[in-house]
Amino acid sequence: MADASYPDDLKYHAEHDWARVDGETATLGITWYAQDQLGEVVFFDPPQVGATTSKDQGYAEIESVKAVSDVVSPLSGEIVEVNEALSEAPEKVNEDPYGDGWLVKIRLSDVAEVDDLMDASTYEGSLS
């Protein structure tokens, strides 16, 4: 698996999730730390398109050989797309957690919530 990395262009949540904000929409996923803790991901149970996410609440489950984890949403909104490729290749979450391993895309309901998230260096600092 790739070395630890926490891209600067992303925002981070304490429950080890990231958000790539693009105006009114955001792409969400889990961080390098989260996938490292989980081990090899074997199954992602995606929510339905149209479902809502709430900041700090779980919206899906991600399963590895040794653990099942709630995926917590950093932001509130409506799910507009889910990463279908993960059903065939869930290991993308480990291999490329910020790229091909994205989980869902949402339309934000409250852009102001982005300010509550951490930047890369703050998040990385919180891990030690």
Binding residues vs other proteins (CB under 8 A): 39-40, 42-43, 45, 63-68, 90-91
The minimum distance between CB 91 and other proteins, in angstroms, equals: 8
- Cβ burial of 95 (10 Å; 0-12, 13-18, 19+) is middle
85/111 with CB nearer other proteins = 85
User: In terms of DSSP bridges, do strands 17-22 and 25-30 run parallel, antiparallel, or are they unpaired?
Assistant: antiparallel
The minimum distance between CB 14 and other proteins, in angstroms, equals: 19
Nearest Cα residue to 104 out of 28, 21, 30, 17:
28
The minimum distance between CB 110 and other proteins, in angstroms, equals: 28
42/114 with CB nearer other proteins = 42
93/104 with CB nearer other proteins = 93
The minimum distance between CB 38 and other proteins, in angstroms, equals: 10
Rounded Cα–Cα distance for residues 71 and 49 (Å): 16
In this structure, are residues 79 and 60 in contact, taking their beta carbons and an 8 Å threshold?
A: no
Question: Which neighbouring-strand residues pair with 19?
Answer: 11, 28
